[in-house]
Amino acid sequence: MGCVDRSEFCVKYEDYICKNNSVVGCHYLYKDKGYCKQESNLSCRIYQPQPKGKCSIPRVPDFEEEIFGSSSLCFVSNLTSNNVEKISLFTGRCYLQKCTRNRNSLVKVHGSDWIDCPYGKLIRILGYRGYIKCPSSQDIMCPELPDNTTLPVTEYSDVTYYTSTSAKI
């Protein structure tokens, strides 16, 4: 995020601001689910990493579409299975994420293909109701690489898929 005047932070970085203490969101680096906390040096509340909220550590998901693994990041979403009539609240959820060579972000939820996730847009996933809010920060999601850097081939062998019957919806 760089150095930002404290008075400007709450306006400039609206994605990181929380208004409801009870809603789980995403920490600004998108590596963790977050809880709402007042920062002493800011006039607004921001999402802080939750204990056990790290998306990169495989665990049983809170929601059926979540995927935890080394390539997972936090996205704000209200996805529910097409079999569920009620749409859930927007909350922080962990999905696989990868970047293309031209710094576009792609997202994958349990049972889906890789889907383009345009910065700052809402997207839908086939087989689910609701939306994923694509983060607006290209520099955090898909940072620019130095000229001679090559992108490694990413393997997802450490991703653990769980079937959860206790998903909170």
Q: What pLDDT, in 10s, does the model give residues 8-37?
A: 777 777 777 887 777 899 998 999 999 988
Instruction: Assess if residue 148 is contained within a domain.
Output: no
d(CA 50, CA 117): 24
Highest mean pLDDT among 22-26, 130-134, 143-147, 153-157: 130-134
pLDDT bucket at 2, cuts 50 / 70 / 90:
low
Give domain status of residue 129, yes or no: yes
Check residue 138 and give its pLDDT: 83
Is the residue at 45 inside a domain?
yes
Q: Which helix (H) or strand (E) holds 7?
A: helix 6-12
Q: Is residue 165 part of a domain?
A: no
pLDDT in tens, 46-63: 899 999 999 999 999 989
Domain for residue 40, yes or no? yes
Residue 21 within any structural domain of the chain: yes
Give pTM, 2 decimals.
0.81
CA nearest neighbour of 67 among 110, 126, 114, 112: 110
In angstroms, rounded to a whole number, what is the distance separating the alpha carbons of residues 6 and 8?
5
Residue 135 lies in a domain: yes
Instruction: Identify the CATH number of the domain in which residue 112 sits.
Output: 2.30.34.10
Q: Is residue 161 part of a domain?
A: no
- Give the pLDDT of residue 28: 86
Separation of alpha carbons 28 and 82, rounded Å = 30
Which residues constitute the domain of residue 99? 6-141
Total count of domains within the chain: 1
Closest CA to 164 of 58, 60, 92: 60
